[in-house]
Amino acid sequence: MIIGLDVGGTKALGLLVDPADGTIHGRQKSSSAGDGPTLVRTLATMVNELRSDHAITGIGLGIAGLIDRSGTVRYSPNLADLVEFPVTAELTAAIGHRVVATNDATAGTWAEAKLGAGRGCRDFVYVALGTGIGAGFVINGELVLGSNGFAGEVGHMVIEANGPAHITGQQGPWEYYASGNALGRLARDAAAAGAFPAVVQRVDSIDSVTGYHVVELMRSGDSDALSIFDGFCKEVALGTSNLVISLDFGRVVIGGGLADIGEPLRAGVEYWLGELLLGREHRPEPEVVLAELGSDAAALGAAYYAIT
Amino acid sequence: MIIGLDVGGTKALGLLVDPADGTIHGRQKSSSAGDGPTLVRTLATMVNELRSDHAITGIGLGIAGLIDRSGTVRYSPNLADLVEFPVTAELTAAIGHRVVATNDATAGTWAEAKLGAGRGCRDFVYVALGTGIGAGFVINGELVLGSNGFAGEVGHMVIEANGPAHITGQQGPWEYYASGNALGRLARDAAAAGAFPAVVQRVDSIDSVTGYHVVELMRSGDSDALSIFDGFCKEVALGTSNLVISLDFGRVVIGGGLADIGEPLRAGVEYWLGELLLGREHRPEPEVVLAELGSDAAALGAAYYAIT
């Protein structure tokens, strides 16, 4: 058996997994709140509950942020207490078993490669659309960590060099246009311009409009919502096209919280990728598919990463 | 011994190489003009001159264009007669030895990995700055071909989504801003605006200003040329930053014809990459180095590709 842990900004998830087929035999949830030592105690309790009397061959940890190859968190906006805290070493000491750690999107990519939408593809990109944009890569059949372990920070790829300033200080990064936050902003901009009346009827203030409203109204057939969402899919496809033209991925796996939108997102990205990807008359178009493992992806992938 | 062939838009180069250390034991040059069968005869003659009575363990071919994994040229603006012509199969038949083929920048990357500026680095990008921009990648110590063999077409990465239309039909691809052609355009724009008087004195017409004038005048200390070149280095760094943030390369190898500019180009890209790469306080900055193998890179890399 293997154990995977996923530490996000507010929650931690632990899974006991059979590596032969990915079957989940145990599941633990907890808050991820508190300082480093508190989190180590939380995770140690989860591991001890999960392992019970099973023989454990690997324990992996997926964490939101920049995790270096030694397993140290170098930067994490949502887990500030973990930065430079030796979480893998401390957890290893607390449970008496070696722990390895990597970025949560990187872990999710490996889960999709082993058990989900990446199976059978040696060169794919996993695009995780959430509050921001992360990614992971499988190239030549191997998980890509990068020189330091920081591969996948594609949300900071600039696609509009003279575009608006983002909270990162960059002008025009992909994340500004194609994240969950961006979908909300597109909706508020449309509402403020009078181009999205259906949403204005549903909220007290335009400030409270989010991407969820776009999705809900799109599902009920509102043409303004459909138009906003189509523009959003074009932005997702533009950055994806940059990755595909550079690395010639045969498949694009769409994950992250926005993947819950499902087929409209997949079909929209597929359409615009076909329009934007240069040389479609010379190259097979990559498959565009939805991730299959949902919110278990990072924990599952962390478990498999421990035995890779 | 191994043999590498490099077929460009006008010239073909063949090298006889000792795979143990990369020593070049024979060199043949020729025109690459003519249709597919003519080129096959040309290359067969080169191979027969080179191999003489040596035992040959691999023969590789680097070609400018999109070469699929079967060795077929699918698209090549400069070698139109080769598109869909079975050049590797025909050459294999003509010389009685298996030939493999890949893109010339991909081959150049592998040469730098084996013998040049990429040695000792498991994750690097080779950026070939010429008329356009190509690239190659070594990730996890392996050469990246991509799903179809088309990896490296980074010149078509969009960095200014609302930018000017390029000859490819895209708006704002990196190649528009940071290729050798782009350096010439920057110089002509400056000259036309009266901001580059030194170059106007040297030419009959602003239309004849090229990137070479910028480099020449920069070397003599002209401040306008220095300013134009600095802006050019920023554009090179912007696309490079997109690649580094996405894939966390530990080293950037600058190759292609513009690498002949040398240290001013390397230093300019290094400076701007430091300014543009997000998170410099959290991550080691990648090394920026010049390619070492010059115009032999593609033929050398093609030879090593044949035995990889």
CA distance B234 to B229: 9
Secondary structure of chain A as H, E, C letters: CEEEEEECCCEEEEEEECCCCCCEEEEEEEECCCCHHHHHHHHHHHHHHHHCCCCCCEEEEEECCEECCCCCEEECCCCHHHCCCCHHHHHHHHHCCCEEEEEHHHHHHHHHHHHCCCCCCCCEEEEEECCCEEEEEEECCEECCCCCCCCCCHHHCECECCCCECCCCCECEHHHHHCHHHHHHHHHHHHHCCCCHHHHCCCCCHHHCCHHHHHHHHHCCCHHHHHHHHHHHHHHHHHHHHHHHHHCCCEEEEECHHHHHCHHHHHHHHHHHHHHCCCCCCCCCCEEEECCCHHHHHHHHHHHHCCC
Q: Could you tell me which chain B residue has the CA closest to the CA of A83?
A: B282
What is the Cα–Cα distance from B156 to B173, expressed in whole angstroms? 5
Work out the mean pLDDT of chain A and round it to a whole number.
95
CA distance A57 to B11: 57
Burial class (CB in 10 A: 0-12, 13-18, 19+), B52: exposed
- Indicate if the pLDDT at residue B43 is higher than 90: yes
Mutation target for B interface from A109, A125, A142, A147: give the one with most B CBs within 10 A: A147
Helix (H) or strand (E) holding B43: helix B36-51
Percent of chain A with pLDDT over 90: 89
Closest CB from B172, B245, B247 relative to A144: B247
Among the ranges given (A74-83, A92-101, A216-225, B116-125), the one the predictor scored with the smallest mean pLDDT: A74-83
In tens, the pLDDT along B168-185 reads 889 999 999 999 999 999
Average pLDDT over residues A223-243: 98
Helix, coil or strand: residue B137: strand
* Closest C-alpha among B294, B248, B239, B305 to residue B272: B239
Nearest to residue A178, comparing CAs of A198, A154, A162? A154
Q: Which residue of A has its CA nearest to B158?
A: A159
pTM recorded for the entire structure: 0.96
Q: How confident is the model at residue A167 (pLDDT cuts 50, 70, 90)?
A: confident
Residue B80: pLDDT band by 50, 70, 90 thresholds? Answer: confident
Residue of B nearest to A120 (CA): B147
In chain B, which residues have their Cβ closer than 8 Å to the Cβ of A282?
66, 74-75
Q: Indicate whether A279 pLDDT > 90.
A: no
In terms of pLDDT, which residue wins out, B187 or B281?
Answer: B187
Q: What is the phi/psi pair of residue A20, to 5°?
A: -65, -35
pLDDT value of residue A44: 97
Per-residue pLDDT, B279: 84
Quick: pLDDT tens for B132-152. Answer: 999 999 999 999 999 999 999
**What distance in Å separates the CA atoms of residue A111 and residue A302, rounded to the nearest whole number?**
8
pLDDT grade for B78, boundaries at 50, 70 and 90: confident
The mean pLDDT of A168-181, rounded to a whole number, is: 94
The verdict on a CB contact (< 8 Å) between A142 and B137 is no
State how far the Cα of B285 lies from the Cα of A7, in Å rounded to an integer: 27
Rg (CA), chain B: 20
Q: Which residue in B299, B283, B290 sits closest to B116, CA to CA?
A: B290
Q: In which element (H, E) is residue B297 found?
A: helix B297-305
pLDDT tens digits along B90-117: 999 999 999 999 999 999 999 999 999 9
CA-based nearest distance B282→chain A, Å: 6
Write the CA distances from A203 to A197, A206, A257, integer angstroms.
Answer: 11, 7, 23
Is the model's pLDDT at A103 over the cut of 90? yes
Q: What is the pLDDT of residues B54-67, one digit of tens each?
A: 999 999 999 999 99
Cβ separation of B238 and A154 shorter than 8 Å? no
Check residue A102 and give its pLDDT.
96
The closest CB to that of A245, out of B122, B157, B249, belongs to B157
Q: Is the pLDDT at A26 greater than 90, yes or no?
A: yes
Confidence of residue A5 (pLDDT cuts 50, 70, 90): very high
Looking from the CA of B196 toward its CB, the CA atoms found within 13 Å total: 29
Pairwise CA distance, residues A206 & A200, whole Å: 7
- For B133, the closest chain A residue by CA position comes to A246
Asked if A66 and B279 come within 8 Å (Cβ–Cβ), the reply is yes
Tell me the per-residue pLDDT of B204-219, one tens digit each, with 9 for 90 and over. Answer: 999 999 999 999 999 9
User: Does the beta-carbon distance from B140 to A142 stay under 8 Å?
Assistant: yes
Question: What is the structure's pLDDT at A79?
Answer: 87
Mutate to test the interface with B, among A246, A281, A288 (most CBs of B within 10 A): A246
Nearest CA in chain B to A244: B151
Q: How confident is the model at residue B81 (pLDDT cuts 50, 70, 90)?
A: confident
Please name the residues in contact with A187: beta carbons below 8 A apart, sequence gap of 6 or more. Answer: A196, A199, A209, A210, A211, A213, A214, A225, A228
CB within 8 Å: A242 and B157 = yes
Contacts of residue B173 in chain A, CB cutoff 8 Å? 278
**Stretch B182-195: mean pLDDT, rounded?**
96
> How many Cα atoms occupy the beta-carbon half-sphere of A262 within 13 Å?
5
Q: A232 to chain B nearest CA, in Å? A: 14
Reference A66, options A42, A82, A54; nearest CA is: A82
Conformation bin of residue B129: beta by default, left when phi > 0, alpha when psi is -120 to 50: beta
A178 band by pLDDT with thresholds 50, 70 and 90: very high
High-pLDDT (> 70) share of chain B, %: 100
The torsion defined by the Cα of B29, B30, B31 and B34, in degrees rounded to 10, comes to -140
Bridge partners of A80, per DSSP, are none
Give the H or E element holding residue B41: helix B36-51
> Which residue type sits at A144?
V
Contact A246 B154 (CB under 8 A): yes
Specify the pLDDT at position B167.
87
Task: Give chain B's mean pLDDT.
Answer: 95
Q: Residue A168 pLDDT more than 90?
A: no
Q: Would you call B151 and A74 a contact, using CB atoms and an 8 Å cutoff? A: no
Whole-angstrom distance between the N-terminal and C-terminal Cα of chain B? 14
What are the structural domains, with CATH classification, of chain A?
2-111+296-305 (3.30.420.40), 119-291 (3.30.420.40)
Q: Beta B58-63 vs B99-103: how paired, if at all?
A: parallel
Residue A225 has pLDDT above 90, yes or no: yes
What pLDDT, in 10s, does the model give residues B293-306? 999 999 999 999 99
> How far is it between the farthest Cα atoms of chain B?
62
In chain A, residues with a C-beta closer than 8 Å to the C-beta of B279 are 66, 75, 153, 156
Best CA proximity match to B183, nearest among B91, B249, B111, B256: B256
Chain-centre distance of CA A280, in angstroms? Answer: 27
pLDDT higher for A127 or A71?
A127
**Other beta carbons less than 10 A from residue A41's beta carbon:** 14
Does A151 have pLDDT greater than 90?
A: yes
Q: Measured between CA atoms, how close is A54 to chain B, in angstroms?
A: 33
CA dist., res. B201 & res. B52, Å (int): 53
Measured from the Cβ of residue A273, the count of other Cβ atoms closer than 10 Å reads: 22
Report the gap between the CA of B268 and the closest CA in chain A (Å): 18
Instruction: Report residue B147 CA to chain centroid gap.
Output: 20
DSSP state for residue B202 in the 8-state scheme: T
Beta bridge partners of A67: A73
pLDDT above 90 for B282: no
Q: How confident is the model at residue A280 (pLDDT cuts 50, 70, 90)?
A: confident
Average pLDDT over residues A162-167: 92
Q: Cα separation of B14 and B45, whole Å?
A: 10
pLDDT computed for residue A191 by the predictor: 96
- Whether A148 and B251 have beta carbons less than 8 Å apart is answered as no
Nearest-CB residue to A66 (from B75, B121, B282): B282
User: What pLDDT does A221 receive?
Assistant: 96
How far away is chain B from the Cα of A206, in angstroms, using its nearest Cα?
28
Q: And the tokens for A181?
A: 């936050």
Q: How many C-beta atoms surround the C-beta of residue B260 within 10 A?
A: 12
Per the CB < 8 A criterion, the answer to whether B68 and B150 are in contact is yes
Count chain A–chain B contacts defined by CB atoms under 8 A.
156
- Closest residue in B to A134 (Cα) is B246
Residues of B in contact with A66 (CB under 8 A): 279, 282-283
Residue B96 DSSP class: T
Which chain B residue is nearest to residue A66, measuring alpha carbons? Answer: B282
Record: contact A144-B139, CB cut-off 8 A: yes
At A133 the pLDDT is 95
Residue A123 and residue B149: Cβ atoms within 8 Å? no
Strand partners, B27: B15
- pLDDT reading at A19 higher than 90: yes
Which candidate, A141, A173, A168, A136, places its Cα nearest to that of A151? A136
